Amino acid sequence: MSDGFDTPQAAEDAYYDALESRDADLMARVWDDSPDVACMLPMQPIVHGVQVRNMMRDLLRSDVPIDIRVTHIRWVGLGDVAIHYAQEHNNAAQAPPDAPGIFATNVFRRRGDAGWTMILHQNSPPPPDGPPRR
């Protein structure tokens, strides 16, 4: 089992840090070892279990520019499960500054003293008219 983090926020911070620094060891710590973990990215097939680690490893080895700024929308804590809703802006993508970011859902679980690890990362593009008004 992965050596998790003290809080869901620490696990989430480590996820984005691992992406930006292309740190495969840190990324491996972020993800839970369960075969039930999943990652869903736009226009990509869903991947589970070891496929998630393989996909992340390939992404970190690629030359895809990664410089993500995260805006937190809402955090939900349900005992040993935490759900974080966020908006990701990839500053390296040469997008206009007012371009809407991609929505993300990050789900974490706590396994006792082993700490918090990620069990789901899902991205979805914003609606055509931008984010909904509150």
Domain ranges of the chain: 8-124
For the cut 70, the answer to whether the pLDDT of residue 89 exceeds it is yes
pLDDT tens-digit readout, 21-74: 999 999 999 999 999 999 999 888 999 999 999 999 999 999 888 888 899 999
Do the strands 81-90 and 68-78 form a parallel or antiparallel pair, or are they unpaired? antiparallel
pLDDT tens-digit readout, 100-123: 789 999 999 999 889 999 999 999
For the cut 70, the answer to whether the pLDDT of residue 86 exceeds it is yes
Q: What is the 3-state secondary structure (H, E, C) of 60-99?
A: HHCCCCCCEEEEEEEEEEECCEEEEEEEEEEHHHCCCCCC
CB 21 within 8 A of CB 68: no
The pLDDT value recorded for residue 98 is 73
Q: How far is CA 85 from CA 62, 74, 103, 105, in A?
A: 26, 5, 7, 5
CATH topology of domain 8-124: Nuclear Transport Factor 2; Chain: A, (3.10.450)
The pLDDT value recorded for residue 61 is 94
The pLDDT value recorded for residue 43 is 84
The pLDDT value recorded for residue 36 is 94
What share of the chain has pLDDT > 90, as a percent?
Answer: 69
The pLDDT value recorded for residue 130 is 55
Cα distance between the two ends of the chain: 40
* pLDDT, mean over the chain: 89
